[in-house]
Amino acid sequence: MPTTPKSEIDGRILILQRGLIERGLDAAMIVQHVDLYYLAGTLQTCHLLVPASGAPRLLVRKVIERARSDSALADIQPLTSMRKLPDHLKELCGPRPWRIGMELDVLPVKTFQFYLKTLGAESKIEDIASTILTQRQIKSAWELEQIRLSGTINDGLYAAMSDVLRPGMSTVALQGSLETAARELGNLGVSRFRGMNMECSPGVVVSGPGGAAPSHSQFPIGGRGIHPAMPHGADLDPIVPGIPIIFDFLTNATGYHNDQTRMAVVGAMPDDAQQIFDSMQTVLREVESILQPGSIPVDIYEAALAVAAAHGLGDAFMGPPGYGAGFLGHSIGLEVNEMPVLAPKFEAPLCPGHVFAIEPKYTHPDYGVIGLENTYAITETGFKRLSAAPEDVLVVDAP
């Protein structure tokens, strides 16, 4: 029984076909996992052929039984040999030469060359990544519900923190306990990013000076990590009473992500750390006051910078000095790093259906990272918060 409704799949195919017609393309050939799931409802090894007009065809290398169970598409056939791809394209689009759209932002060059040779030298392959990613920016009501469902797992982690956090445990141990709790709550345990060298564990938990280490990636939370093979996130140092702990988790219940960050502490939160946290909350409230259709992403970003600077926190806002992440919030959905971004140069107005994870954070050399994050959907009249956990710092009694 397909989990993505047929109405969702049919609507997405129609929108993509309009884009193909505008580009003068004969068909799209979709091979990237997330785009396959979005347009076909399955993550089996497939090629999805979407002609500019007419019904799409899903060609399955393996496993066809799973694909037929997963997908609401009507035409699902085995692909026994890659040499048969041109035969299917001829049947759907007519004779060569063809202009075929593929996701060239993620397709390796060697694979691109293979497809070009398979389709014939007279055919052309053009990039349709922006067409698909622009389409995916606007979430349907069904998609918003999937993101909300993933958020219930994140909310459960906030509740579970007081049960798993113990004085003296390392942030690695705490992160592992929270990841276990997330799986028990229904988390799929995978966080999907688009692009080369983009990777992250489902959660990031850091505290103290180790947590203040800058990230090699575009994340506002760094962390020392435990090995150069993963130079990011939690470490083996014991959690110290009175030192804030930040836990940032990507939860994923049905393929759609929810991103939420909360704070905890063993014992009392230091006054200056609490002041920083209160300032990050003030930044978030300011953002919420202007988060609505028609707002300009760069204006929201600059408003957040101004509030942080007014509180004396502009030096290490969104990352240690010299290593700032350069954004305030990112779109999120089937992938974590979707578009648009609340950052410089993003000037297209927000629209209903955009979903953002907004995460004002400040890096302190002794405390680590202090801040919070919620996931929001832009509505017709403003926004809806898709993160329901309390924003209060969770306090666990010291021994």
> Is the pLDDT assigned to residue 283 strictly greater than 70?
yes
- Angle formed at CA 184 by CA 178 and CA 187, multiple of 5 degrees: 80
Average pLDDT estimate for 167-173:
94
Report the distance separating Cα 220 and Cα 257, nearest Å. 18
- Residue 172 and residue 226 in contact, taking contact as beta carbons nearer than 8 Å: yes
pLDDT of residue 398: 79
Summarize pLDDT for 203-215 with one digit per residue, the tens: 999 999 999 999 8
Q: Write out the two tokens for 245.
A: 């702990």
Average pLDDT estimate for 157-161:
93
The arrangement of secondary structure in 6-136, i.e. its CATH architecture, is 3-Layer(aba) Sandwich (3.40)
pLDDT of residue 1: 65
Report the distance separating Cα 205 and Cα 155, nearest Å. 16
> Is the pLDDT assigned to residue 319 strictly greater than 70?
yes
For residues 343-355, one letter each, b for 16 or more C-beta atoms within 10 angstroms of the residue's C-beta and e for the rest, the string is: beebeeebeebbb
Domain map (residue ranges) of the chain: 6-136, 138-396
- Angle formed at CA 122 by CA 117 and CA 126, multiple of 5 degrees: 75
pTM of the model: 0.95
- The confidence band for 239, taking pLDDT boundaries of 50, 70 and 90, is very high
Helix 129-137 / helix 33-40 crossing angle, nearest 10 deg: 60
Report the distance separating Cα 187 and Cα 178, nearest Å. 11
Average pLDDT estimate for 306-315:
97
* Burial of residue 52, with CB atoms counted within 10 A of its CB: 0-12 exposed, 13-18 middle, 19 or more buried: buried
Give CATH superfamily name and number for 138-396: Creatinase/methionine aminopeptidase superfamily (3.90.230.10)
- The confidence band for 126, taking pLDDT boundaries of 50, 70 and 90, is very high
- The confidence band for 107, taking pLDDT boundaries of 50, 70 and 90, is very high
- The confidence band for 61, taking pLDDT boundaries of 50, 70 and 90, is very high
**Collapsing DSSP states into helix, strand and coil, what is residue 367?**
coil
DSSP one-letter code for 214: P
Same CATH topology for 6-136 and 138-396: the answer is no
Summarize pLDDT for 8-22 with one digit per residue, the tens: 999 999 999 999 999
Average pLDDT estimate for 39-46:
97
> Is the pLDDT assigned to residue 246 strictly greater than 80?
yes
CB count within 10 Å of CB 108 equals 10
- The confidence band for 150, taking pLDDT boundaries of 50, 70 and 90, is very high
pLDDT of residue 215: 85
Summarize pLDDT for 345-369 with one digit per residue, the tens: 999 999 999 999 999 999 999 999 9
